[in-house]
Amino acid sequence: MPLDVCHDLAAHTRLAVPDWYVSGLMLDRALDAILHRVRLDRRHDVPYLAGYSQDGATIYIDRHLPRILMLRGRKIEVDRYLVLHETVEKTLIDQLGLHYQHAHQIALRAEEAAVLSDHIGWSAYDRFMQRYIKRIGDERLLRVPADLDLKPYRDEHDRELVRRMKRAIGRLPARVAARALAALRLPPPARPRARRHRTGQSG
């Protein structure tokens, strides 16, 4: 997958600066390492643009999101930033047991750092993402991954969105749908889920 991977041969080369320096180059290498460890799937409808499989091996990006952001004549491949966000978020939830919203905030800062290190304005990037977010009631929510990790939706008690996801999963083959629907049981009470991106936030 063309995700602008660029540091294969020098992935472990030590930089000529102290380790505690903020380094766009080292961040880029770290992102390359993540991209080699997960699979990207762009064939599904994913609420709030992106998510991950229950085992963390697959990162899902919504099939309607363009791969390229055109910015002042520059072609920017956006998948790599979303993969970074979702991988960081999933790891913090699974390995440290963080609540979704806490993990999301840390992952959002990592995503922002990667965007800025590539000399891309965060506000322009965020506006692009906001145009394609599938929200509650969006008719394009038709093909939801059967193994999508639903902890973010359960943590946020987003019951209306979960109902729409159930209808989408119901269109899958019976055995696949049964497993996915079992994971969609939500505890009360209901409250709205926060948007995946927050315009204007910075670290």
- pLDDT tens sequence across 112-128: 999 998 999 999 999 99
CA dist., res. 58 & res. 56, Å (int): 6
Query: Does residue 18 form part of some domain?
Result: no
Token pair recorded at residue 119: 């000399």
What band does 178 get if pLDDT is binned at 50, 70 and 90?
low
Query: Does residue 193 form part of some domain?
Result: no
Locate the DSSP E strands across the chain. 39-41, 50-52, 58-61, 68-71, 74-77
Query: Does residue 110 form part of some domain?
Result: yes
Query: Does residue 99 form part of some domain?
Result: yes
Query: Does residue 32 form part of some domain?
Result: yes
Average pLDDT over residues 9-23: 52
- Single-letter amino acid, residue 55: D
Alpha carbon dihedral 183, 100, 198, 72, in 10-degree steps, equals -80
Number of domains in the chain: 1
Q: Which domain holds residue 175?
A: 24-182
* 7-16, 20-29, 137-146: the lowest-pLDDT one: 7-16
Query: Does residue 155 form part of some domain?
Result: yes
Query: Does residue 147 form part of some domain?
Result: yes
pLDDT score at 168 = 72
Query: Does residue 17 form part of some domain?
Result: no
pTM value is 0.73
